[in-house]
Amino acid sequence: MDDCLRTDRWHILFKDPWLTFVRSWTGFCVYKVRLEVSDGGCKIVQAFASRDAKQYGGTDAQDDVGILSFLIDEFLLGRERGPVSMAKP
């Protein structure tokens, strides 16, 4: 089954087993997550972030983990977390 959640900045699509995060205004795929069903829900077993500098400027894996966690929590699980800070010390 294919499903798509649209926000003002993201199109979040699910086509078993992949969850894909596409920037709404460019159409570029930024994140892909492979899910596996487990007891009590599902878990992430693999994740990718684009490193194509023409499509996405992110280069820090920890920043990507934070953004991806935020997107999943806020938009898919309905958990309010507030804005993500990517400020460097």
pTM score of the predicted model: 0.81
Mean pLDDT of 37-48: 90
pLDDT higher than 90, residue 6: no
3-state secondary structure of 30: strand
> Taking the mean position of all CA atoms in its chain, how far away is CA 27?
14
Query: HSE on the CB side for 40, CA within 13 Å?
Result: 0
10-14, 44-48, 64-68, 79-83: lowest mean pLDDT where? 79-83
Q: Distance (Å, rounded) from C-alpha 89 to C-alpha 85? A: 11
